[in-house]
Chain A
Amino acid sequence: MAADETHRAIEAIYRIERARLIAGLARMTRDVARAEELAQEALLIALSEWPKSGVPHNPGAWLMAAAKRRAIDGIRRDRMRERKHAEIARELADARDTSVEELEAAMDDDLGDELLGLIFTACHPAISAEARAALTLRLIGGLTTGEIARAFLSREATIAQRIVRAKKTIGNAGLAFEVPRGGDRTARLASVLEVIYLIFNEGYAATTGDNLVRPTLCMEAQRLGRILAGLMPREPEVLGLLALMELQASRLSARTEPHGAFIPLTKQNRALWDQLLIRRGLDALGRAEALGGANGPYTLQAALAACHARAHRAEDTDWGRIAELYDQLRTTMPSPVVELNRAVAHSMAFGPEAGLRLMDEIADAAALRNYAPLPAARADFLFRAGRLTEARSEFETAAGLTRNMREKAFLLARAAACS
């Protein structure tokens, strides 16, 4: 094997092990920045040793043992210098003779739990939502700061600073890198799901820039969702979120024209929908509902996405069922955006006038004041009701509000079609 190929193979192994390594090291050192450094140092050792010795039988345990040795060395140095941390060092020094076999056994026991602990820590509500997303992509997804910055169309320095601050928050709060138990668990899980869905949506519904979809973020979020579903298979909302993401992602390649213009759901070529993801989504949705989670916000949204996934042609869509699900969703998860989508669903099920009536009820919602989809939907209802002059003006208002260039072009084209 060529040297370059060997290095790539080692780095691929490292990418697989990285999150679990950091999880174990963070729990040991209570310092996520140090855990990342130690994992990186273990990679460097592997890159120098494995080409000579071959890849060990259990590379994860090997990397963990190497990182722990570095941690112990580091703490010894600190102790000699400062005579501090005596207790931790003793604890770690006691572990220095632990054989690889014992480490392997320990890792087998606790891995899922440690990784889950890291996910919950990175998504801790004490950290701002944006920083949680960046930190999760960094620690669990293994993305570089540059990759995260590109994905969020942000500056690398901004993301780096956000991550550093988040790590400090974790350190200052003395978080234990554990899965919360009892009442705390539900609230903390909601925060984890929120972060994963934020990452997904940032990719799926890119709000700024030229690209409507940034698939890397969707893929990362789906993977996080699958990992979480593997680790928490009895949590209906975990499955609901996974179902929602799989179903939405099944349409990724059908949503944009070759030159990048957005294609609305009803106009998409449904043969391009990814049937494997649809099957996975419907399966996860079924499991979420079977666990009694049918009215959870993510599960309800997945059920909505499933209505579209099940329709062979746009005209087969069960809009009555969709309107019903939105009626439920507005009580589970009240928000102006849900109200807006509910109006759209009712317009499809019961005619544009029904949509306009519901729209009038929410027209004054402050949260929707500069929200392009509101006039866009209203314009569509007016268009379908044959009120073309009003429709045109609403399409133009919507075009003036969106920051997405592709969407703007789409709305202006619809405005032009009103004469």
Chain B
Amino acid sequence: MRVVVFVKATEDSEQGALPAAELIEAMGKYNEELINAGIMVGGDGLKPSSQGKRIAFDGPGRTVIDGPFAETRELVAGFWIWEVKDMDEALAWAKRCPNPMPGPSELELRPVVSMEDFAETMTPEGAEIHARNEQRLAGQ
């Protein structure tokens, strides 16, 4: 199964505090372990929400909201995509992660919905558009 592991933001990450050299090294080692175990299939770190934007939808209305966003604990500072046998395995790997922040912090593990789940409502036209878009996203 595929799982997205979110690194939740903290006040430090939201202030753009650079991680300490030891943490960068420890995280590098951890990523190496994930790769060597065949678990990690993707991931990235995110800049603070002060550099982010939100779009609020209300019927036809679109309102742009500039970051930073208030509810720090609900924000995301980075993510991995893992392929694991089950949630137990994902949890065991997540517990091994070095604390990604200087203070208390959280990881959030969420199983991914697969495109199969949309198969019933997908028309051939819709499918084609999706395929084309995703392929363009993949830089092909």
| Residues of chain A at interface, number, CB under 8 A | 36
A-B pairs, 3 with minimum CB distance: A226-B38, A271-B127, A12-B92
Indicate which residue in B41, B116, B128, B140 contacts A270 across the interface (CB closer than 8 Å). Answer: B128
- Write the chain A residue with the least CB distance to B132: A312
Instruction: Report chain B residues within 8 Å CB of A280.
Output: 41-42
Task: Assess whether B93 is in contact with A275, with CB atoms less than 8 Å apart.
Answer: no
Task: Assess whether B92 is in contact with A271, with CB atoms less than 8 Å apart.
Answer: no
Known: A8-B88, A12-B92, A230-B35. A269 touches B127 (CB 8 A): yes
Q: How far is the CA of A112 from the CA of B29 in the complex (A)?
A: 13
Indicate which residue in B89, B116, B128, B134 contacts A16 across the interface (CB closer than 8 Å). Answer: B89
- Nearest-Cβ distance from residue B3 to partner chain A, whole angstroms: 12
Task: Assess whether B38 is in contact with A230, with CB atoms less than 8 Å apart.
Answer: yes
Q: Report if B115 contacts A (CB, 8 A).
A: yes
Known: A12-B91, A279-B138, A282-B138. A271 touches B130 (CB 8 A): yes
Secondary structure at the A interface, as helix, strand, loop or mixed, is: helix
Q: Report if B65 contacts A (CB, 8 A).
A: no
Task: Assess whether B119 is in contact with A269, with CB atoms less than 8 Å apart.
Answer: yes
Indicate which residue in B38, B42, B91, B130 contacts A222 across the interface (CB closer than 8 Å). Answer: B38
Q: How far is the CA of A253 from the CA of B115 in the complex (A)?
A: 8
Q: How far is the CA of A270 from the CA of B135 in the complex (A)?
A: 10
Indicate which residue in B88, B124, B131, B135 contacts A12 across the interface (CB closer than 8 Å). Answer: B88
Task: Assess whether B122 is in contact with A269, with CB atoms less than 8 Å apart.
Answer: yes
| Residues of chain B at interface, number, CB under 8 A | 36
Known: A269-B119, A278-B138, A310-B135. A230 touches B36 (CB 8 A): yes
Can you list, as one digit per residue, whether each of B43-64 has a CB less than 8 Å from chain A (1) or not (0)? 0000000000000000000000
- Nearest-Cβ distance from residue A371 to partner chain B, whole angstroms: 31
- Write the chain A residue with the least CB distance to B35: A230
Q: Report if A106 contacts B (CB, 8 A).
A: no
Return 29 A-B CB contacts under 8 Å, by A number: A8-B88, A9-B88, A9-B91, A12-B86, A12-B92, A13-B92, A16-B92, A219-B83, A225-B38, A226-B35, A227-B38, A230-B32, A230-B35, A230-B36, A231-B36, A253-B115, A269-B119, A269-B122, A269-B124, A270-B131, A271-B126, A271-B130, A272-B119, A272-B122, A275-B137, A275-B138, A276-B42, A276-B81, A310-B140
